[in-house]
Amino acid sequence: MFVLGLTGSIGMGKSTTAQLFTELGVPVYDADATVHRLYEREAVAAIEQAFPGTTGAGGVDREKLSTHVVGNAPAMKRLESIVHPMLRAHEKEFLTGAEQAGALVAVLDIPLLFETGAENRVDAVLVVSAPEEVQHARILARPNMTAAKLETILARQMHDADKRARADFVVDTSNGLDSAREQIRHVLAKVATMPRRRS
């Protein structure tokens, strides 16, 4: 089975691209959705122990947790040391299930793929991109988003140009769904002939 890493900065259309893969019958692992589930269940006790007062009846309170970890590198490292092993276990489970189901390609949707070194766990990387003005317009149209918040988010992510330079494939989402769908079909045709390279 070929494992394709999917990534892209905020506002580039990564979630929509992941959905298009799903529509084409390709199994997609969503790292963000898995984090949400961990914050509701298995990570709650460990996070409460590391960051007292950050959880409640509904699990981890992301707002409270962010006051502890945003801008605090050692705290962020501690949080990652709790969450990342759990994420990896779910990822392995997903890949095993996809392979057993006979999938020829599986997608790992990981927002911080390059930033966390996850490119070593995939056979190729697809970066979802769009012109900067399209990206900013999409993000600033979101509820409660401000220019200052946007700058903070972008500062934590690798620059789009750097991601594109390291990608095996780039899907441009600025020309609508049909264009993106066609680009994805092209990617799937290409990966069918590519060698596996994950370590």
Q: Is 63 helix (H, G, I), strand (E, B) or coil?
A: helix
What CA dihedral angle connects 124, 91, 61 and 128, to 10 degrees? Answer: 20
Question: Is 16 flagged in the annotation as binding?
Answer: yes
For the record, the structure tokens of 7 come out as 């990534």
Question: Is 173 flagged in the annotation as binding?
Answer: no
Q: Is 86 exposed, middle or buried (0-12, 13-18, 19+ CB in 10 A)?
A: middle
Question: Is 102 flagged in the annotation as binding?
Answer: no
Distance from C-alpha of 133 to C-alpha of 113, rounded to nearest angstrom: 23
Task: Report how far apart, in Å, the C-alpha atoms of 155 and of each of 39, 70, 152 are.
Answer: 24, 12, 5
Question: Is 116 flagged in the annotation as binding?
Answer: no
CA angle 10, 145, 40 (to 5 degrees): 70
Question: Is 176 flagged in the annotation as binding?
Answer: no
Question: Is 190 flagged in the annotation as binding?
Answer: no
- Tokens 């122990």 — which residue? 49
Q: 29 and 106 in contact (C-beta within 8 Å)?
A: yes
**Quick one: which of 113, 128, 125, 143 has its CA closest to 19?**
128
Q: Which residues are annotated as a binding site for ATP?
A: 11-16
Q: Which residues are annotated as a binding site?
A: 11-16
